[in-house]
């Protein structure tokens, strides 16, 4: 890092401390042996992680979040892959409008989406169900799934597809044998990014979740509203650990900056 002067390095250090401080503090406090919020210095204990077992609502919320994230990311990709192929391969009228529509969940505040979904699902008679949550999450994570798939499909050498066709492959065979393997890394990282977005969403989900379908962020938020104690820090620390794992995986197999800046300018929320 020789190209940065000492002043720049001091600035950089302070900046990094600022960025990691709240995350480190949460994880640190989670290991307190005390019954109250404190920063352990000599004694570290797993007491509050073990205590999680006695709070089934957190465990249940965690399960809901996992299922919801996995399911909605898969469903989103089922819609996003053909859409990405359409946008990257074909010229048709209204193509730009279509891509703006598909990316619109990034622009619309999640409060607004939450309200719109609440109103809509209540009128449709499926308010508060897991199905409603899945549909809402599919929409919200769709742009992320789409963007990474789109970047992969656009970056792919089209003459490879033409080669397959010229050798006698039909459209489906070409997709299965040539296109899909080529864009698979984009699809996988799209899935991971979509999963994280779904797993973390609070603002929209809080309008739709009912006691049976509370996700982990919703449960944590409602818990914090009442009181902050070491239990919620151990929940947070677990969530952070899970996200970091996915994040490092994502970075390893695709490069985090590329994932987050994939085509379209603004990144996720």
Partner 1 sequence: MSTTVSANPSDARTGLTLALPALMLFTGVVVIPLAMTVLLSFHDWGQYKGIEPVFILKNWIEIVSDPYYAEMFWRTFRVAVLATLITAVFGVPEAYILNRMQGPWKGLFLLIIIGPLLISVVARTLGWALLFGGNNGLVNKLLMTSGLIASPLRFMFTETGMVIALAHAMMPFMVLAVWTALQRLDPQVENAALSLGAGSFTVIRRIVLPQIMPGVLSGAIIVFSLSASAFATPAIIGGRRLKVAATLAYDEFLNTLNWPLGAAVAVLLLIALVLIVVGSNALIERRYQEMFR
Partner 2 sequence: MSLLELDRVGKSFGPNTAVEEFSLAVTKGEFISFLGPSGCGKTTTLQMIAGFLDPSHGTIRLEGKDLVAMPPAKRGLGIVFQSYALFPHMTAAENVAFGLEMRKVPRDERDERVRKALALVGLAGYEGRHPRRMSGGQQQRVALARALVIRPSVLLLDEPLSNLDARLREDMQIELRQIQRNLGTTTILVTHDQIEAMSLSDRIVVMSKGKIEQIGTPQQVYEQPASAFVAQFLGKTNEFAAEVERTAGLARLVAGSWSAPAPAGATGTVTISVRPERISFGSSGLAGRITSRIFQGNHWLFQCDTECGPAIVIRQNDGQPQPDQGETVHLIWQDSDMSLRASVAA
Q: Could you say which of partner 1, partner 2, none residue 262 binds, taking C-beta under 5 to 8 angstroms by partner kind? A: none
Q: Which string of b and e fits 174-186 if b means at least 16 CB within 10 Å? A: bbeebbeeebeeb
Near partner 1 in 145-164, by CB under 8 A: 146, 157-159, 162
In the complex, minimum distance from the CB of residue 249 to partner 2, in angstroms, rounded to a whole number: 21
Q: Could you say which of partner 2, partner 1, none residue 200 binds, taking C-beta under 5 to 8 angstroms by partner kind? A: partner 1
User: Which residues touch 30 (CB under 8 Å, ≥6 apart)?
Assistant: 48, 49, 230, 233, 234, 236, 237
Q: Give me the residue label for tokens 């709070």.
A: 55
Task: Report d(CA 71, CA 130) in Å as an integer.
Answer: 11
Q: Looking at 1-9, 44-52, 53-61, 182-190, which segment touches partner 1 (CB under 8 A)? A: 1-9
Near partner 1 in 18-57, by CB under 8 A: 18-26, 29, 37, 39
| Cα 174 off chain centre by | 30
Under 8 Å between Cβ of 65 and 215: yes
Q: Is 178 in the site for partner 2 (CB under 8 A)?
A: yes
Q: Looking at 121-129, 152-160, 219-227, 252-260, which segment touches partner 2 (CB under 8 A)? A: 152-160
Q: Is 241 in the site for partner 2 (CB under 8 A)?
A: no
Which residue, 45 or 240, is less far from partner 1 as judged by CB? Answer: 240
In the complex, minimum distance from the CB of residue 192 to partner 2, in angstroms, rounded to a whole number: 21
Near partner 2 in 158-177, by CB under 8 A: 159-160, 162-170, 173, 177
Q: Is 166 in the site for partner 1 (CB under 8 A)?
A: no
Q: Give me the residue label for tokens 């509203």.
A: 225
Q: Give me the residue label for tokens 């459209």.
A: 171
Q: Is 184 in the site for partner 1 (CB under 8 A)?
A: no
Q: Is 229 in the site for partner 1 (CB under 8 A)?
A: no
Q: Looking at 9-17, 45-53, 54-62, 178-186, which segment touches partner 1 (CB under 8 A)? A: 9-17
Task: Report d(CA 128, CA 214) in Å as an integer.
Answer: 9
User: Which residues touch 97 (CB under 8 Å, ≥6 apart)?
Assistant: none
Q: Could you say which of partner 2, partner 1, none residue 224 binds, taking C-beta under 5 to 8 angstroms by partner kind? A: partner 1
Q: Is 253 in the site for partner 2 (CB under 8 A)?
A: no
**Alpha-carbon separation of residue 251 from 34, 62, 136, 257, 266 (angstroms):** 36, 24, 27, 8, 18
Q: Is 63 in the site for partner 1 (CB under 8 A)?
A: no
DSSP letter string over 135-189? HHHHHHHHHHHHHHHHHHHHHS-HHHHHHHHHTT--HHHHIIIIIHHHHHHHHHH
Q: Is 188 in the site for partner 2 (CB under 8 A)?
A: no
Q: Looking at 29-37, 116-124, 153-161, 241-249, which segment touches partner 2 (CB under 8 A)? A: 153-161
């Amino acid at each position: 890092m020789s190209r940065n002067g000492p002043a720049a390095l001091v600035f950089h250090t302070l900046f990094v401390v600022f960025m990691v401080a709240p995350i480190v503090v949460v994880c640190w406090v989670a290991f307190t042996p005390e019954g109250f919020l404190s920063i352990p210095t000599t004694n570290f204990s797993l007491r509050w992680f073990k205590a999680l077992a006695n709070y089934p609502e957190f465990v249940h919320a965690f399960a809901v979040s996992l299922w919801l994230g996995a399911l909605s990311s898969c469903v989103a990709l089922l819609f996003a892959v053909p859409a990405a192929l359409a946008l990257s391969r074909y010229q048709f009228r209204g193509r730009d409008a279509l891509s703006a529509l598909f990316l619109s969940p990034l622009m619309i505040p999640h409060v607004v989406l939450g309200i719109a979904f609440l109103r809509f699902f209540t009128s449709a008679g499926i308010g508060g169900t897991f199905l409603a949550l899945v549909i809402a999450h599919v929409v919200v994570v769709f742009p992320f799934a789409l963007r990474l798939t789109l970047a992969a499909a656009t970056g792919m050498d089209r003459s490879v597809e033409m080669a397959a066709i010229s050798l006698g492959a039909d459209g489906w065979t070409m997709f299965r044998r040539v296109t899909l393997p080529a864009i698979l890394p984009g699809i996988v990282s799209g899935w991971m990014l979509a999963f994280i977005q779904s797993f973390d969403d609070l603002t929209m989900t809080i309008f739709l979740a009912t006691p049976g379908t509370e996700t982990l962020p919703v449960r944590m938020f409602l818990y914090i509203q009442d009181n902050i104690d070491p239990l919620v820090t151990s929940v947070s620390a677990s969530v952070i650990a899970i996200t970091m794992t996915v994040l490092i995986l994502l970075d390893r197999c695709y490069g985090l900056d590329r994932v987050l800046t994939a085509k379209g300018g603004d990144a996720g929320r």
